[in-house]
A and B are shown apart, each in its own frame.
Chain A
Amino acid sequence: MGRDLDRPLFLVTLALAIFGIVVLYSAGQTDAPSNATGVWTRQLVWLGVGLVAAATSYRISFRLLEWIAPWAYGLGLGLLLLTVVGFGSGGEGSAASTSSWLTIGGVRLGQPVELAKIATILMLARWFTARREPPTSLRGLIPPVTIAAVPALLVLAQPDLGSAIVFAGILFATLFWAGVAPSLLLLLASPVISLFLAWSTALWSAWMVVLFILLLLWRPFILEAIGIYVVNSVMGVAAMLVWEKMAPHQRGRILSFLNPEEYRTGSAYQAIQSKVAIGSGGWFGTGFTQGTQKRSGYIPEHWTDFVFAVVGEEFGFVGVMLALGLFIALLFILVRIAQRAADPYASIVVFGVAGLIFTHVFENVGMTISLMPITGIPLPFFSYGGSFLLLMALSLGLAFRAANEARSAGYVEN
């Protein structure tokens, strides 16, 4: 096994890490007092820790990973359960009523959800590699869906909608990469689509017609088809009941996403101020550390959830394109590594990591310009936070190893 690192992955990761630290430094430069002051030095320390973590995971064989996957998964679920049953506390962010931090004796130890994310990827990869063929029926999808759904439901109970969405992203990425037919994926996703279309009876009805046609075309098992149709109907009707059960901050976020102007003072305040900061950046931005929205404290959580608004305000459209370009480069590299991985297990793990990063980037960046609803999930490399940075380091360490193994296995030539 050679010791060469995948050069493109290394360069892009390094560039993103530097960009992230630069933006975090700027985030601390404010006129209004904020918690952002000095976070960039703490993030540097976390980067150092992350380097050690990446080096460690780089040295772990995928066989060992495959073997410990159930244990890691079990540990992740256990810790998540602890946060739900009373050992959780809110972070420094806006959703302070949540309990995403594992807290014992008043000491906040970390966010177990990050461990659960990587553990879920490992567990899903293990389940798929144990089978020769991918499932071809919805019934066959029950085990992998359950693997992702258990941690997702636990984080929903915290409640943390954003992380629950990340588990969905991981699930769909691995299902797709493991060869599950796209039509099956759509049917799997259809209840969620019904849920989101439920606010408009006309749209939902149209969707139900489309679904009916799709079921006729794709011809799944007849019982499953009926089941799908019933579940979609129930979702459309149940949406309002779900709505009633939502936490106020979640409800506010969805409302403000649908109609920001009307909710100007509440959750939408974040969305609008973020968009104002980004929009006022123009082509080239206000310049490094010079963002006025940021300086005056108008961007909420501008060093964690809304850090990308600082990129938009200070570096403009050009800076945003640079950051997004680096992200898409990273994801392309991960897809390439997954494509050329020496064994299916490594391949699915790396693609799962790509799905994880993609979900975080798309959701976080999208919410800063109101393309996505506001959920408190961090932006890789940019948002300040130790737990998530460790997750990224561990995940990328695995990707480096997968790339390295592929090269050693002579799989590279085609």
Chain B
Amino acid sequence: MSIWASWQVTRRADAARWVLILAFVVLGGGFFRAQVLQSEAYRLTSNNNRLRTIPLPAPRGEIVDRNGLLIAENYPGFSVRLLASREDSLRAVIARLDSLIPGIQVDADAVVTRWAAVRHEPALVFGSSDFGVVATLEEHRGVLPGLVVQAEPRRRYPLGAAVGHLVGYVSEVSQAELDNVAKFPGARMGDIVGKLGLEAEYDSIMRGRNGMRYVEVTARGHTVREQGLARAVRPIIGRTITTTIDLPLQQFVDSMWQADLAGKRGALLAMRPNGEILAYYSAPSFDPNDWVGGISVAKFRELNEDPDKPLINRVIYGRYPPASPFKLATAAMGLKRGLITANSRMAVPCTGGFQFGNRRFRCWKRDGGHGSLDLTGAVATSCDVYFYQLGLMLGEQAIFDEGTAYGFGQRSGIDLDANMEQRSIFPSELKHYVNSRGVNWWSRGEILNLSIGQGSNAQTLVNMTTFYAALAGDGVKRAPYLVRPRPGAPEFPMGLKPDELQVLRDAMAAVVNVGTAGRSGGREIRMAGKTGTGQVTNQEDIAWFIGFAPVEAPEIVVGILVEEGLHGSWVAPQVARTIRRWILGPDTAAVRAPIDLPITEELIPRDSLRLLEAGDTTIPRPAGTGTR
């Protein structure tokens, strides 16, 4: 029994003890490594395991008008999101959620796409829900694991469609937009960004920065509890942008359009000569509130398929023959080149037409013509024959050079939807008339067309109105703006002396003031402007009127454009009312007083009655109202 001898047993027992000690040192070392040396890393993993971040959307900055009135604001709404660890469990919860709320269809695929982009964050289901839906969901929280309902600010535009094209709209950022990093820097899946209008242009300022909070979830994705708010990162509210818009004026323009021009397509732009935009309106409009929380498919289809195309912003998108308002550009070119003065008369008096080569170019006044006119008379009567001859005196090269220098072949540079604004069309050289097949279709007859605003000349409303703002101001055509001038936007100095500008302003004043000045005796607003009726082949005419007031020291320039079926003289009252509303303030009686502008152009053949009744073009101003 030697193996059971005491010393043998003791030896084996000691060996066993050493094996035990060694084994437990190995185990203890493993725990020391994990629990002491690497504890921080494991704690972090543990937190990542069970804490889910939920973005706290930053309220967008507000949009206010020049006096601080709200154009776009925020109010509390509810968003519904889902946390999930796997796609099939997410789909199961969506299906259950769908059955709980009748009448609302959840786009499961869209939710899954959002979830797949950022799996550890809750995926958006409804951007905005009313309280009833939220209450129903909360009631069934038990069968909806991962449900996250939170109050989040929603956009609201109190004036709705009246500011549609101005503010644009907001909606959820798309994957394509995220891929293009420069477009919405810092945006993440599920964020709401501005897609059009001011919301898009100043998105980076208004968007703010989302905060986040944490919820604790179990391994199966049920939320357990909120972490203390102390650990949440508060959202940074976006900055408010102050626009140059005068909201009451904007509202006035909208209601005026609805009353006087209901159903007409067109646009109106009111600005100060320095470029500040006071009212920005395109008709028909859309209600930007429809996009908040996601626009319905039906609504979007309705807007998209409307033959009047309400989504087209006619202030900046849509080029029209500028017609008679362009005659002021021709006149400016003549003055600048020293070819004419205010008193210059043309060689051939107007007899209702002008023989050029073997073709007779008609004046709009065919029966008898205007006779011999000076510049003021020519502008006042909009005599085509005068401008035909002035154009020929200038020659094509001078027209190309000056027109280009005035910015007629450019964008206005407005700080809105730069990618949407159409570039106006104006020839800068003869090559313009060589088409793609190399055929030169230039003829000198085109000079006559160009000089009365027809031919290869198409302008946006914003570009034309800006040109008039330059005429009303210091003769430099600057980019108009709603918040601030776009950095690097080009300026177009016309190079006219102040007295030459005055000649043009006086001529435009004559358009609306012929023989009527001073009738009211008291203080008055002298208005200047120019009508136009653009002719588009196979379409009805385009009506223009661009005016400003007061003539002595212009404060406001208003351009209006109405597609189809109207004449410049028909839309002039809307400009006059807008000007009165701006200068006189909200005195409805004065603003709403009948307007009877003795517009001299184009009325005669189609509406001679109005010319005969030509009366008051000065607007009586009630005592005590100062000039703004």
Contacts and interface: CB of A to CB of B under 8 A. Distances in A.
A132 interface: yes
A293 B30 CA distance: 20
A366 B218 contact: no
A180 to B, nearest CB: 9
Nearest to A343: B4
Contact of B24 (A295, A296, A297, A324): A324
Interface stretch (A106-114, A198-206, A253-261, A331-339): A331-339
A276 B48 CA distance: 11
Contacts of A312: 31, 34-35
The winner among A281, A298, A362 for most chain B CB atoms within 10 A is A281
Interface in B219-243: 219-220, 222, 224-225
A347 B43 CA distance: 46
A31 interface: yes
Interface stretch (A55-63, A116-124, A149-157, A313-321): A313-321
B35 to A, nearest CB: 4
B13 A279 contact: no
B27 interface: yes
B627 interface: no
Given A31-B224, A275-B42, A328-B24, A298 B49 contact: yes
Contacts of B303: none
The winner among B42, B43, B225 for most chain A CB atoms within 10 A is B42
A414 B7 CA distance: 11
Contacts of A32: 218-220, 222, 224
Contact of B27 (A283, A292, A365): A365
Nearest to A282: B39
Interface string B157-183: 000000000000000000000000000
Chain B contact residues: helix, strand, loop or mixed: helix
Contact of A296 (B28, B38, B216): B216
A133 interface: yes
B45 A179 contact: no
B3 interface: yes
A31 B219 CA distance: 10
Contacts of A280: 39, 42-43, 45-46
Nearest to A133: B3
Interface string B32-67: 101110110111011001100000000000000000
Given A279-B42, A298-B49, A335-B17, A177 B12 contact: yes
A292 B20 contact: no
B234 to A, nearest CB: 24
A296 B27 contact: no
Interface in B556-587: none
A366 B46 contact: no
Interface string A66-81: 0000000000000000
B9 interface: yes
B20 A339 contact: no
A321 B36 contact: no
Contacts of A179: 3, 8, 12
A317 B43 contact: no
B32 A366 contact: no
B5 to A, nearest CB: 10
Contacts of B216: 31, 292, 296
A278 interface: yes
A297 B219 contact: yes
B612 interface: no
A90 interface: no
Contacts of A133: 2-3
A317 B35 contact: yes
B217 A371 contact: no
Interface string A208-237: 000000000000000000000000000000
A382 to B, nearest CB: 14
B203 to A, nearest CB: 39
Contacts of B21: 328
B46 A282 contact: no
A372 to B, nearest CB: 10
B26 interface: yes
A134 interface: yes
B10 interface: yes
Given A31-B224, A332-B17, A275 B49 contact: no
A32 B146 CA distance: 13
A252 interface: no
B50 A292 contact: yes
A369 interface: yes
B30 A371 contact: yes
Contact of A339 (B9, B39, B224): B9
A170 to B, nearest CB: 14
B439 interface: no
A280 B51 CA distance: 14
Contacts of B219: 32, 296-298
Contact of B35 (A176, A178, A316, A351): A316
Nearest to B23: A362
Interface string A164-178: 000000000000111
B217 A296 contact: yes
Contacts of A295: 224
A388 interface: no
B12 to A, nearest CB: 6
A15 to B, nearest CB: 17
B50 A332 contact: no
A355 B30 CA distance: 22
B1 interface: yes
Given A320-B31, A328-B20, A281 B39 contact: yes
B49 A279 contact: no
Contacts of B217: 296
A272 to B, nearest CB: 8
A351 B16 CA distance: 10
B6 interface: yes
Interface in A28-77: 31-32
Given A296-B224, A297-B219, A358-B20, A317 B49 contact: no
B39 A358 contact: no
Contacts of B35: 278-279, 281-283, 312, 316-317, 320
The winner among A276, A278, A283, A347 for most chain B CB atoms within 10 A is A276
Contacts of B20: 328, 331-332, 335, 358
Given A177-B12, A335-B20, A293 B50 contact: yes
The winner among A176, A332, A339 for most chain B CB atoms within 10 A is A339
A91 interface: no
B28 A279 contact: no
A168 to B, nearest CB: 15
A177 B225 CA distance: 55
A133 B50 CA distance: 60
B43 A282 contact: yes
A338 B8 CA distance: 13
Contacts of A282: 35-36, 39, 43
Nearest to A179: B3
Contacts of A339: 9-10, 13
A246 to B, nearest CB: 26
Interface of A: 31-32, 132-134, 176-179, 273, 275-283, 292-293, 295-298, 312, 316-317, 320-321, 324, 327-328, 331-332, 335-336, 338-339, 344, 347, 351, 354, 358, 362, 365-366, 369, 371, 414
14 contacts: A31-B216, A32-B220, A282-B36, A282-B43, A283-B39, A292-B216, A293-B50, A295-B224, A296-B50, A298-B46, A298-B218, A317-B35, A328-B24, A339-B13
Closest 10 pairs between A and B when the two form their complex, measured CB to CB? A279-B42, A179-B3, A32-B218, A280-B46, A297-B219, A317-B35, A339-B13, A280-B43, A282-B39, A279-B34
Interface of B: 1-4, 6, 8-10, 12-13, 15-17, 20-21, 23-24, 26-28, 30-32, 34-36, 38-39, 41-43, 45-46, 49-50, 216-220, 222, 224-225
Given A31-B225, A328-B20, A332-B20, 5 more contacts: A279-B38, A279-B41, A280-B39, A293-B49, A324-B27
